[in-house]
Every structure is written in C-alpha cells, then in structure tokens.
Amino acid sequence: MKKILIPILTILFLALLSESYFLIKLKNDNNTFAAQLSDISTNNQNNEKLSNTIDEQQKEIEKLKTELSESSASSNKQEKKDKIDINLEKCMEKDYSTAGMNNCSQEGQKAWEQEISKNSAIIKKNLDSEGQQLFEEAQKAWQDYYEKEQKFIHNTIGQVDGTIHTNYAYGECYDLAKARAKAISSYNFDLEN
C-alpha cells in the first residue's frame, strides 16, 4: 500500500502545488490588470484634459478666423478695385504690342472711371447737402484737371520719339483715374465707419 500511496500523495502534492502556482499567477495577473485599469483611467483623465485643451484651441482658431474674415470683408472693396490692375496685366499678357498695351491701359482707365462714378454716387448719399455741394465742386475741379492733364501728357510724353512713350502716356492717364477712384473709395470707407 505504501507503494500506491506514495504516487497518489505525490500526484496530490503536485496538484496542490500546481493549484497554488495558478492562484499566485492569477493574483499577479489581477494586480497587473488592476494596474493597467488604473493606467487607463489616468490616460482617460489626461485625454479628457487634452480634449478640453484642443476644444479651447479650436474655439480660439474659429474666433481668429471670424476676426480675419470680418477684417477681410472690410477690405473687399479695395480688393475689388485692384482686380482692375489684374485685368490690365492679363490683357497686356495677351497682346504686348505697343498698340495692344495702349488699348489695355485705356480699358483699365475706363474701368477706373466707372469706379469713380459709382463711388461718387455712394459718397453723395453719405453727405449732407453742404457736403454734397463741396464734393461736386471738388469733383468738377478734378474732372477739369483730369482732362487737361491727359491732354498735356499725350501732347508731351506721348509725342517723344519712340513708341514706348505712348505706353508711358496711357499708363500715366490710367494712374490718374486709379488715384482718384481710390481716394473717393477711401472717403466712402471713412464716412461709413
């Protein structure tokens, strides 16, 4: 019986030893799992803080975008007028002959003159009767100057030898109209704000 009992006891001992090992391992795994849960909880808290920070930054970005958009909107009139310059450049790229460039300058000058007319109508709406009268007098004086200055430019610079000088003359007339259009637009901006 001793012979049978020793192997059975050995098997039982090994089974108990194995079960103890399993229980110790399970306890260690539970501790590891608990530590991992704690880490996950800490990470979730950190992620929540990070998410809040990101949300705050996104709100700040949206606020800045809005401010930029509002700022851009106030300068859209300026950008619209500058499109005339862009159109002039595109026109000259298509036909860069002397006559072609002169025609482009004349088209651009007419576009600036239309801006002068449009902005003159707007400014009159923003002025009282005395201001309107003063503006009309100033505009008439400028118109007289503009016509005489163009004649002077074409009869002097435009007559110098070399066809390039006609380009200079048309360019100067373009710049005269552009300067007046920008001035009136600036007056409108000041009166509206």
Q: Are residues 82 and 3 in the same domain?
A: no
pTM: 0.56
Final residue of a structural domain among 74, 89, 124: 74
Say which range, 59-63, 84-88, 123-127, 133-137, has the weakest mean pLDDT: 59-63
Final residue of a structural domain among 44, 74, 104: 74
Could you report the per-residue pLDDT of 7-64, keeping only the tens digit for each? Answer: 555 555 555 555 555 556 555 665 666 666 666 767 666 667 666 676 776 776 676 6
Please answer whether residues 77 and 142 qualify as being in contact, where contact means their C-beta atoms are separated by less than 8 angstroms: no
Residue 124: exposure state from Cβ atoms within 10 A (0-12, 13-18, ≥19): middle
Q: Domain range for residue 21?
A: 1-74
Q: Are residues 14 and 80 in the same domain?
A: no
Q: Are residues 70 and 82 in the same domain?
A: no
Q: Are residues 36 and 115 in the same domain?
A: no
Q: Are residues 108 and 139 in the same domain?
A: yes
Res 164: pLDDT: 85
Mean per-residue pLDDT, 71-86 = 64
Single-letter amino acid, residue 90: K
Mean per-residue pLDDT, 110-136 = 92
The CATH number linked to 169 is 1.20.1270
Q: Are residues 57 and 83 in the same domain?
A: no
Single-letter amino acid, residue 182: K
| Total number of domains constituting the chain | 2
Distance CA 4, CA 15 (A): 17
Q: Are residues 150 and 101 in the same domain?
A: yes
Q: Are residues 88 and 11 in the same domain?
A: no
Final residue of a structural domain among 74, 108, 133: 74
Mean per-residue pLDDT, 147-151 = 93
Q: Are residues 10 and 21 in the same domain?
A: yes
Say which range, 56-60, 156-160, 163-167, 186-190, has the weakest mean pLDDT: 56-60
